[in-house]
Amino acid sequence: MTDITTARTSASAASPAAPSPSVTSRLGDRTVKRVGYGAMQLAGPGVFGPPKDRDAALAVLREAVARGVDHIDTSDYYGPHITNQLIREALHPYPNELVIVTKVGAVRGADASWIPAAQPADLVRAVHDNLRNLGVDVLDVVNMRHMGAGHGPSEGSIEAPFSALAELQRQGLIRHLGLSNVTAAQVAEARGIAPVACVQNQYNLAHRADDALVDALLGMGIAYVPFFPLGGITPLQSSILSDVAGELGATPMQVALAWLLHRATNILLIPGTASLDHLRQNLRAAELTLPEGVLARLNAIGEKNVSPAAA
């Protein structure tokens, strides 16, 4: 792969570059680097059971932090319990600057199914599971995952589960609250109960249904954390992405991540991988500046306003 800095210089000579995206942004009361790490892929196949190579999983976590990653996304239902236990083994005692963001709202069945678990008792149990397996007294950020009626966001009140988490926050077990897989109306409802630090939804070049929500959250000072940065992109759209990546001497994943960094300053990234090589490539996406002409071509991928796919 061509060096990103060299490719960026060559591309910029041919087309004006957009302003370089900011390196950091806010997450609750912390300033973090905009490219973090998502730990979901460290569990076994289907995010269930132990990893095939435990030592490799531990090495990825340690390498991420060594390279400056200061926010990690996880959940105690990854595995279940496996991912948090790996994080603890690899990184505890945690660096002061590291923010660990976890999720609650589901449990795993014996058949690896994903089962909604958002009753107050479920959430209390989940928070204590996260505390125990991460080895901390307070969770930095807890996202309430709304399972809804399908795989993507669906309307419905989240008052009861979010109020239960707000009570745990008042008890001192959680510093900040966030949301995952939610609509704009649910964000508004949650903000009427307690401050919201971040929203984690599916969003990428093709799946742009949250465009208005991204902009609204930017105005509120709330971080937006997209997952599946390449999820659901069609072969035709992938061809455009691959062409751009080839011109820039980068990978399609790096370009997709760089586009998100250019999209809005409140976007934080959590690309996940169990590979050291892919981790290094993903982190280098922050170095990639996209020329204006490239941004226009990439923006066109989402012009048809594709609806969110299964998450």
Task: Give the 3-state DSSP-derived string for 141-203, with helices as H, strands as E and coil as C.
Answer: EEEEECCCCCCCCCCCCCHHHHHHHHHHHHCCCEEEEEEECCCHHHHHHHHCCCCCCEEEEEC
Cross-strand pairs, 291: 17
Residues known to be catalytic: 78
The Cα 132–Cα 209 span in angstroms is 37
> Are 168 and 129 contacting, i.e. CB atoms less than 8 angstroms apart?
no
Bridge partners of 225, per DSSP, are: 200
Cis-peptide into 93, omega within 30 deg: yes
94 exposed, middle or buried (CB, 10 Å; 0-12, 13-18, 19+)? middle
C-alpha count within 13 angstroms, C-beta hemisphere, residue 298: 28
Let me know: does 85 contact 77? Beta carbons within 8 Å: no
